[in-house]
Amino acid sequence: MSNRTLYVRAAEDLRPNERQWQAYESAGHCVLLAGPGSGKTKTLTVKLARMLSEDVEEPRGIACITYNNECARELETRLDALGIAQSRRVFIGTVHSFSLTQILLPYAKVAGLDLPDDFTVATTRQTRAALEIAHSKVIGGSENPQNWDLRLGRHRRRFLNRSVPEWQDADPQLTQLVEAYEANLRAKGVIDFDDMPILALKALRENNWLRKAIAAKYPILAVDEYQDLGRALHAMVMGLCFKSGIRLFAVGDVDQSIYGFTGANPELLRKLSEREDVETVRLGLNYRCGSQIVTASEYALGEERGYQAPEGAHEGTIYFHPCTGGYSGQARYLVKELIPEIQARRPDLHLGEIAILYQAKFIGDDVAAAAAEHGYAVIRTDGNALYPRGSRLMRWLEQCAMWCCGGWRSGHPRVSRVISEGARLFHEVIRSDDDHLEFQRAVIAALWDRREGTLGLHDWLVALRAELIRPRIGMARSLADEVETLDSFIERLGSTGDIDDFPLSEFAGIGSGLDRINLSSLHSAKGREFDVVILCGAEEGRLPRNGASTSEVKEARRLFYVGFTRARHEIHLMYGQAIPSRFVTEVRQRLEAE
């Protein structure tokens, strides 16, 4: 079946929804304002497939910028189902990845960025050391230098153009700290995470030929989760799309802007959507949540948006659980009583369709301890996870483990998928067909001899690191931090580590997640959906926190709304008996008043 047949057939599912179809038919700059469960990812992927097939002639292509690697992975999977594999014509990745791979690595030298020819991306260890040296030079004293990390990042992202007087005048000490920190990085020949979009934007601003080169390669730019991507990306869009002729297709939702601490600003999307030269489409149906949850979600947000469930949708249910005993009491209650009650009511429900969401990782510690005590396996996506869930390398190794533990027999995942994702991971090394063939042979050889779920994970990881990763890592300048994450995990599994080694099948289960309860921070849950959501610790002083400013309260409400709308069938709100969050109280009062 041809690619065109696949996306045209998929597009027919959009036709009954007038606004999805309007976005699919758009011909110029388009902003798709898409609330939770509105089908925005399907609309985006089918639209990408159409534009690549009908609007862009080879060898030119499309770049799609996403918020994080999880979003990129989801888009890649959906495009693959439409017959569109990742290739040199299709870039899908974060704004940092776009900045690094499409601008800095190929053009840094000729763009006048004063970076060494062989610069690499700093590891976490290197950035911490650079901040310690800069702090000692500029600030001094016995304070922990890492306490300045958030302020440092905000200051760097605030001043995208450092030629303005405010760069020196607004906070001279913080500016000195930034300059000392960056000088330490450059002395080591490295750039860090925040450097990537800042330096890429500088290169684009100062080099008209570079803007033309990007436009020649990618005449269309798609941006997903626009509200989360910050001022550097917005400035790139303004220059590339409204000055250099690249066509824009942007997707986002101002109500789901929850990353203010990284510089995200929902007003940027709002202003973009109000431009006269942009066609703006707002999706109004929520296909995910039950009708009662859709109604209550606007109470959670505190704003009327007119969202509706489609005709014939299930109802959905909201439950309120005042608890005693603090967070540990909530954890014991939800594991000992609530989850068994849910399982009894819905015996066919996989544990992987249950998510427990919370504001702080120490709440997750209480839940994880209670779950272990009662024999439940969990998968954590918070600051105390076994390893960062956003790590591309660790997620690829999970796929490898799934293939070794039965995927080779069932085709889930297909070995071709495992190889293609690995090739994208090592794209700096795998540049030719011969390189790809060599990598393919190495992957199959390494995995074929280890098709056994009872193997110890430590030894399996050590072997794959030696056979697949070490021969390539020296030339992969963007993966140093990823390998540091892997090495740290291997060390924790070792004889002197803090985690008992476990079988490969358990690691593969982390990738599939079917029999594990999801424990996630509210921020990490964004973009995901579950049959049942339990929002733990939804109380005043935590959501919102005590002393929060007006803007912080608004963002806390949006965070509550994001958590609320992850649920398809059931949302359970748990809180200390005497101190429910003002957001919980408002939802309950408005539901009781209906």
The per-residue pLDDT for range 562-572, each reduced to its tens digit, is: 999 999 999 99
Indicate the DSSP class of residue 292: H
Q: Give the pair of three-digit tokens for residue 450.
A: 């280890």
With bands split at pLDDT 50, 70 and 90, how would you rate the model's confidence at 26? very high
- Annotated binding-site residues for ATP read 34-41
Q: What is the pLDDT of residues 265-280, one digit of tens each?
A: 999 999 999 999 999 9
- Annotated binding-site residues read 34-41
Q: What is the pLDDT of residues 475-530, one digit of tens each?
A: 888 888 899 999 999 999 998 998 999 999 989 887 666 788 999 999 999 999 99
* Cβ atoms of 210 and 111 closer than 8 Å: yes
Nearest residue to 522 via CA among 488, 499, 506, 545: 545
Beta-bridged to residue 65, according to DSSP, are 93, 223
Q: What is the pLDDT of residue 515?
A: 84
Q: What is the pLDDT of residues 129-177, one digit of tens each?
A: 999 999 999 999 999 999 999 999 999 999 999 999 999 999 999 999 9
DSSP 537-593: --BTBBTTBTT--HHHHHHHHHHHHHHHTTEEEEEEEEEETT-B-HHHHHHHHHHHT
* Cβ atoms of 162 and 519 closer than 8 Å: no
Q: What is the pLDDT of residue 477?
A: 83
φ, ψ for residue 214, nearest 5 deg: -65, -40
Backbone angle region of 230, left / alpha / beta, with phi > 0 → left and psi within -120 to 50 → alpha? left
The interaxial angle of helices 415-425 and 392-402, nearest 10 deg, is: 160
d(Cα 245, Cα 243) in Å, to the nearest integer? 6
Q: Say what the pTM is.
A: 0.92
Place of tokens 């499409």: 102
d(Cα 512, Cα 352) in Å, to the nearest integer? 9
Please, what's the b/e burial string for 479-494 (b: 16 or more CB within 10 A of its CB; e: otherwise)?
Answer: bbbbbbbbeebbebbe
